[in-house]
A and B are shown apart, each in its own frame.
Chain A
Amino acid sequence: MRRPSSRWVPPWLFWTLVLAAVTGGMLLLRDELDQAHVALVYLMVVLGASASAGRAVGIGLACAGFALIDFFFQPPYDTLTIDKRPDWLVLIAFLATAAVATQLLARARAEAEAARRRAEEIDRLSLLGAETLSVGRAEEALGAIAHVIRDTIAVAVCEIFVRGTARDIEVRVTGAGHAVAADTGDTSRELVAWVTANGRVAAERPDGSVFRAPRPPNENVSFDLALEDARALLVPLIVHERTVGVLRLADTEAIALDPPQRRFLAALSYYAALGIERVRLVAEAEHAEALREADHLKDALLASVSHDLRTPLTTIKALAHDIAFTGDERAAVIEQQADRLNRMVADLLELSRLNAGALPVRRELNAAEDLVGAAIQQVSGALNGREVRASIEWSEPVLVGEFDFVHSLRILVNLIENALKYSPADTPIDIEVRRTDGMLHITVADRGPGITGAERERIFDPFYRLIPGVSPDDGAGAGLGLAIARRLAEAQGGNVTYADRIGGGSCFTLQLPASSLEEAETVERVHD
């Protein structure tokens, strides 16, 4: 709101000249003028001065006017003495009016100025809000914010540092015409790291010393301390009580921030923090999307591997079967090996799905004897006359558990196959089912050599093979059976454990969560 003339003449000089001119003019007409006229004319000058040049000039002119009225326009003229009482009244009234008017004008001016700056802030903030939301790349959005901050705070350099999950981001905006170091120094980097870690304000001083804000009792206090002669100010960018980045302002002069600028800086810092957060969320979403895609790809791969491998295996088996009719005994070996290959592929697929946590587990109410029966049925083809004895409590009601039937069957079949493989051909396999402490214990016991202490846990490691004497040609898998068995059991809230068998041999126990049958009986009665 300054007059154009103020560019060449300081306002106070301009208004002093006006006052002098008015005084001179009125002196020529002194005899025709009343004191009140003089006071009114001076008052106009004072008001004009305070309106355009501010309170200080207004008050100065008011005092000068007071002296001039007394000296030139009140008898006795050209002295500061006054002979009549009412003349004092005029003088005091003039001074009071001038002072009050100046004060009011100053306040109105200040309010108008504040309103203007607020409007400007809002404009910039809204512009910035739109930019941070619409700009695609993180650097561009943060660059826009840094630009606005630098222009508003009027500093040479504005930088934003972000410690990213995937990569670090640094944005640096430098004002034109400022001589600034081409790169951020080591001290500054250290300080940036400190602000990131502590979420507090810091500052750099011209003598190379740094200020680190103590745990802040009040942000403003920290700012006041930090701003004492600061050449660089570092502000943490905080969102959801987490420091996501650091804003660094640097200048060749000491940085000064008045309250509106501080408010503005706080708002902008928050915008910057939100911008960084948004960038982080976008990156996270992209990462999750990539993971999902990889997962789909893996599933598709597993499905196609399983399909593509089994189809040729079927053909091989069928052809081997045909050849067997011609009397070639090698055909049986081909068929056997095809089966083995199929088992190994299945094991590998299953282990990879278990590792990926991608194997669905359907825990349902199942009868223990159903499980044992299905397992015996499945191994019946490989028994070659071996005896498998099952001992189940035939008490009512049947023993039941909450487990996944298919997974548990696979475990039990594996345990029985191992027992058959690792024990003498003339010894039986014993299967026993008990219920103890809320768990079903299904024990598979053989009369083999047993397992020595050191190996008891290692047998559950993937690819671990127990007995060197048993060559892979005997139909062993990839050494995954027990590893898969234990993991499958754990996935259902159960376990697979080993114990020595009394009288010699191994004793593997599949534990599964047991269940109660009371409700089932109720159902039966209702339908009876």
Chain B
Amino acid sequence: MRDDTVLVIDDEPQIRRVVSNALQSEVARVLEAATGNQGIDLANAERPALIVLDLGLPDRAGVDVCKELRKWSSAPIVVLSARHSDQEKALLLDTGADDYITKPFSTIEFTARIRANLRRAQAAQLAAQVQPMTIGDLLVDLNARTLRRGDSSIHLTPIEWELLRTFVTQAGRTLTHQQLFNAVWGRAFGDPQQYLRVHVANLRRKIEQDAVRPQLIVTEPGVGYRFEMPR
């Protein structure tokens, strides 16, 4: 993992410096770009393992840059945002960003998120193929659809199974309500989208040790949910 390259696209030199410093001990090389276009060119030339993208760029809207990158790159995109608009965050994730961090952020939080995204990018698909898998004190077999905690078997409804599968295969990634709905129901529209939250609440009651202190399915307020794979 130490030979990874991370690209930072941000017009503020101070932020670039802070981010570079924070990543110095995490990755092999940090590239910096001050504009969206420069960032796209650099990403094209260097093929970084992860891209940190600031939304307040002078030349292009962050969503545009995100879309452009997603056309040919599958590298995780972590967005830095000063705006607290949740719709905007959801839109970014829907257009292909993998995660976002709201300014001001702490260095610890930032590096943790970068690490998680790098790890997930390399390991996510691999992990989901190995069945059954251990998640904390749970034993899950997504193929056989069995879920056990110790000796007791836990019953999940079909929708809850689909939810769990989506979460587990994309662990560490913030999934928007829209993305979850598409994955579980296979449709991009419809009122039942609202009930997604109820299904998540039910699933939590079954798999979390304490449903009001969820450790596996973490709520991203106004955006969606993220599945945290316990270490």
Contacts and interface: CB of A to CB of B under 8 A. Distances in A.
A455 interface: no
B198 A365 contact: yes
A405 B225 CA distance: 13
B221 A367 contact: no
Contacts of B158: 527-528
B107 A523 contact: no
Given A310-B82, A312-B14, A317 B105 contact: yes
A351 to B, nearest CB: 14
Contacts of B83: 303, 306-307
Interface string B135-179: 000000000000000000000011100000000000000000000
A317 to B, nearest CB: 5
A314 B213 contact: no
Interface residues of B, number: 41
A312 B202 CA distance: 42
Contact of B202 (A316, A342, A346, A398): A398
Contact of B82 (A311, A315, A523): A311
A370 interface: yes
Contacts of B211: 369, 373, 392
Contacts, number: 122
B197 A306 contact: no
Nearest to B223: A406
B212 A373 contact: yes
A39 interface: no
B198 A321 contact: no
Contacts of B119: none
B104 interface: yes
A524 interface: yes
Interface string A365-402: 11101101110110000000000001010100110100
Given A367-B198, A372-B212, A321 B108 contact: yes
A321 B107 contact: yes
Interface in B7-23: 12, 14-15, 17-18, 21-22
A377 B14 contact: no
B15 A315 contact: yes
Interface centre among B82, B157, B204 (most CB of A within 10 A): B82
A515 to B, nearest CB: 9
A80 interface: no
B222 interface: yes
Nearest to A409: B221
Contact of A365 (B14, B84, B159, B195): B195
A524 B195 CA distance: 9
A441 B223 CA distance: 24
Interface in A276-309: 303, 306-307
Nearest to A396: B202
A367 B103 contact: no
A376 B213 contact: yes
Interface in B45-95: 56, 82-84, 86
A318 B83 CA distance: 19
Contact of B201 (A364, A367, A405, A523): A367
A52 B198 CA distance: 98
B200 interface: yes
Contacts of A376: 212-213
Interface string A497-528: 00000000000000000000101100110011
Contacts of B18: 314-315, 318-319
A229 interface: no
Contacts of B56: 307, 311
Given A311-B15, A406-B222, A524 B157 contact: yes
Contacts of B84: 306, 346
A32 B105 CA distance: 131
A373 B213 contact: yes
Contacts of A483: none
Contact of B212 (A316, A335, A390): A390
B106 A527 contact: no
Contacts of B212: 369, 372-373, 376, 390, 392
Contacts of B221: 374, 405-406, 409
A369 B201 contact: yes
A303 B83 CA distance: 7
Nearest to A433: B212
A367 B200 contact: yes
A171 B38 CA distance: 64
B104 to A, nearest CB: 4
A408 to B, nearest CB: 9
Interface string B191-217: 010110111111011000001111000
Interface string A105-135: 0000000000000000000000000000000
A528 B157 contact: yes
A400 B198 contact: yes
A315 B197 contact: no
A26 interface: no
Contacts of A335: 106
Contacts of B5: none
A394 to B, nearest CB: 7
Contacts of B214: 373, 377
Interface string B13-48: 011011001100000000000000000000000000
A373 B213 CA distance: 5
B86 A365 contact: no
Contacts of A311: 12, 14-15, 56, 82, 103
Interface string A305-344: 0110011111111110110000000000001001100100
B183 interface: no
B219 interface: yes
B218 A377 contact: yes
A31 to B, nearest CB: 116
7 contacts: A303-B83, A306-B83, A317-B107, A318-B106, A338-B104, A373-B219, A528-B157
Given A406-B86, A527-B158, 6 more contacts: A315-B12, A318-B107, A373-B214, A374-B219, A520-B194, A520-B198
Interface of B: 12, 14-15, 17-18, 21-22, 56, 82-84, 86, 103-108, 157-159, 185, 192, 194-195, 197-202, 204-205, 211-214, 218-219, 221-222
Q: 7 closest pairs, A vs B, by CB?
A: A367-B201, A318-B18, A406-B222, A314-B104, A313-B104, A365-B194, A374-B219
